[in-house]
Amino acid sequence: MFDSLSGKKVVIIGASSGIDLAIAEKLLSLGAKVVLSHASQEKLAAAVALISGEIEAKTVNFLEEDSVNAFFAEIGNFDHLVVTSLGDRNMPRALLTEMTTETARGGMEKFWATFLAVRGSLKTLAKDGSITLTSSVTIFKYSKMGGISVIAAANSAVAVFGRALALEIAPIRVNVVAPGLIEDTSIWSSQGDSERSDLSKWAVSALPVEHLGQPEEVALAVLSLIINPYMTGVVLPVDGGVTL
């Protein structure tokens, strides 16, 4: 079944975390042709430099409709779309009473960028292909610390959007991966050394799997959603059991 990716073109939207790179590496190892995209040329170049394999890289602003449409017109026909870290760095972690309306609206950029990316892809995405979106475990489990209301809202919007699309644009398959706390992501990178140490200790003691998530583990989940032709409308947690 893994041979089904040989020669297939897969577009990955996002190049700012270890998850993006791990997905690209796995796809390349299975013979896929990979197109990596990001709004920042600098981040895109840095990501490409870390990938061991031939990859096509394109700069695109996924909050600008014209930029999105030009991007998909340029890359032409392709087989699978993976949307990873769109807008994640703009996610506001603040209490509702302390958050400005402008900040809250900015936190919803993840949904709007995902919307534009998916809509822009449909003219050139194969009818027997797939779309894999990225949400978060925050849609299943909320924090007593608070401050994640807009984060949860944006990720919930992505998840519900994906499930509805699985019916609307069938037979194209649409699935959603919902990672928990994963090393080498924007959230992980925003923590200090002591916070990372505390999180690692927490994972060992609190999670059934007794370790923090790794980018490669999310990449394996994404691959299963891409390859399995009988999976659509799925929201798949990759969370080490935190939602149990």
Rounded to whole angstroms, how far apart are CA atoms 95 and 106?
Answer: 15
Query: Under a CB-based contact definition with an 8 Å cutoff, are residues 68 and 120 in contact?
Result: yes
Residue 202's pLDDT is what?
78
Residue 193 domain-assigned?
no
| Structural domains in the chain (count) | 1
Residue 195 domain-assigned?
no
Residue 226 domain-assigned?
yes
Residue 138 domain-assigned?
yes
Residue 82 domain-assigned?
yes
Residue 209's pLDDT is what?
94
Residue 200's pLDDT is what?
81
Query: What's the CATH code of the domain at 177?
Result: 3.40.50.720
Query: Would you tell me how many other CB atoms lie within 10 Å of the CB of residue 69?
Result: 16
Give the torsion through C-alpha atoms of 136, 139, 142, 145, to 10 deg.
50
Edge-to-edge, what's the strand order for the sheet holding 9-13? 56-59, 33-38, 9-13, 78-83, 125-134, 173-179, 235-238
Residue 189 domain-assigned?
no
Rounded to whole angstroms, how far apart are CA atoms 167 and 163?
Answer: 7
Rounded to whole angstroms, how far apart are CA atoms 93 and 147?
Answer: 5
Per-residue pLDDT of the chain (244 residues; tens, 9 = 90+): 555 799 999 999 987 678 999 999 999 999 999 999 998 899 899 888 888 888 999 999 999 999 999 999 999 999 999 999 765 555 656 777 788 888 888 889 999 999 999 999 999 999 999 999 999 998 988 766 666 788 889 999 999 999 999 999 999 999 999 999 888 766 666 667 777 778 788 788 889 999 989 999 999 999 999 999 999 999 999 999 998 8
Residue 191's pLDDT is what?
67
Residue 198 domain-assigned?
no
Residue 144's pLDDT is what?
63
DSSP secondary structure of 23-86: HHHHHHHTT-EEEEEES-HHHHHHHHHH-SS--EEEE--TT-HHHHHHHHHHH-SEEEEEE--T
Residue 193's pLDDT is what?
77
Alpha helical stretches, state H, the chain: 18-29, 41-50, 65-75, 101-107, 109-121, 149-168, 186-189, 193-206, 215-227
Rounded to whole angstroms, how far apart are CA atoms 19 and 203?
Answer: 19
Q: At 228, list the tokens.
A: 């399995």
Residue 103 domain-assigned?
yes
Domain containing residue 107? 2-183+214-238
Residue 186's pLDDT is what?
63
